[in-house]
Amino acid sequence: MVVTRFAPSPTGYLHIGGLRTALFNWLWARKNGGKFILRIEDTDLARNSDEATKAILEAFEWVGLDYDGEVAYQSKRFDIYKRYIQKLLDEGKAYYCYMSKEELDALRQEQLARGERPRYDRRYRDFTGEPPAGIKPVVRIKAPLEGDIVFEDGIKGTITIRAEEVDDFIIARSDGTPTYNFVVAIDDALMGVTDVIRGDDHLYNTPKQIVVYRALGLSIPKFYHVPMILNEEGKKLSKRDGAMDVMEYKRMGYLPEALLNFLVRLGWSHGDQEIFTIEEMKELFDPHDINKAPSAYNLSKLQWLNAHYIKNRPNEELIPLLEEFGLYLADHDRKEILLDALKERAKTLKELATMAKEILEAPQTFDEKGLKRALKGPWDRLLQGFVERLERADPHLPVDFRTILEETVQASGVGFGKLGQPLRLALTGRLGGPDLADIMAIVGKEETLRRIQTFLERFASSSEPG
């Protein structure tokens, strides 16, 4: 059975690169009918944050990535790690190192002065003498002294690291807490993880973890190291570029299916296909097809995808989502007309809510450039003529309002814009927006008349705005 995992550290919020890693692991497990484990790597007790853990779980719930079993917390597994550390000590595969921080710093300075790479010199590897007084030792694992550490990466191919590049690294600190590379290997083995898909910033942790696997006779999983996400200039992704808390995307008005679709295409592709349902992702995804080169974050692509998913989302599903942005449409009798008129234009839910409010709420200000452009010639008489026709009619649907508009324009003998522009300003305060007939059908006859009258009272005394 394929077993994958996502193992974030709760020292900060789940960011976009982490969510992509989680998605790749989830897809591979689900495609193969396997298991997907969520493990919180919270052994760094000084830096852990309950708030960050909560945010990680909240993000998983929002995007709909389910995991098998309970969430695993490394902080609750210390007894397990201690047993394996003791096992290595008992078997002579690990040892206590009494080197003080001052000694280690001095050694590094000497090595740097000689132009060497700083590293521990294994001075306590085979130590049998009397331990120095007053030093709480760390535990180091005995790494191989010669040969190569070789593993097959499902994305990068064969990776070969010379044994001498891996020193006797610490597996337990002086206070007894285990270190990252040790607990990751233990947990992946005990949890039956078969495939490790993670960022390639972990590539050089892998040889150390292999040392642990081999020392304990544990099965080594398959590795896939995914290249980083870069910004559009090819540099490291920053918060400004999009490397923010995943839940910030929700607050900005992105749909989870759009975000997942966007992420799956960052480093993986299937022909020229851009839009994938979750089911299609599960059917088609294979980590062996992940690109070797880094991918580029493209905000325009995310917005395009989000617009696609908004446009194709049923109105009854959008209505509760829009309430998070202060738009309440459940009881509005023209909500279908409103959403149908705006869905084609919105890139985010937040933008959709803003555009809807601009229609539903009477304008308090008016675009100055729009006024100078539209209030020319007999604009007020044209608008008054439209009012007179509207007052005599009983319109309800967009087609009813459109007929009155067309009749007014035809009777006046002017171009549509001569009436349309001041009417649009009266209704929304700006020149851009959806079809005028849709706007009037949404706000209704009485509100349309009220807004036009307010506009005429303010601006009709002069052909110039004031």
Q: Annotated catalytic sites, by residue?
A: 239
Strand partners for 39: 72
Residue at 321: amino acid letter? L
Q: How many angstroms separate the Cα of 187 from the Cα of each of 198, 209, 281, 432? A: 15, 11, 28, 58
Q: Compute the distance between CA of residue 148 and CA of residue 167 in angstroms, rounded to an integer.
A: 13
Give the distance between the most distant pair of CA atoms in the chain. 109
Query: What is the DSSP secondary-structure string of 325-336?
Result: GT---TT-TTHH
CB atoms within 10 A of CB 316: 11
Residue 14 has, within 13 A of its CA and on its CB side, a CA count of 28
DSSP 78: H
Q: Taking each helix axis from N to C terminus, what angle separates 180-190 and 206-216, rounded to the nearest 10 degrees?
A: 60
Query: What is the DSSP secondary-structure string of 354-414?
Result: HHHHHHHSPPSS--HHHHHHH--SSHHHHHHHHHHHHHH----SHHHHHHHHHHHHHHHTS
Structure tokens at 233: 């200039």
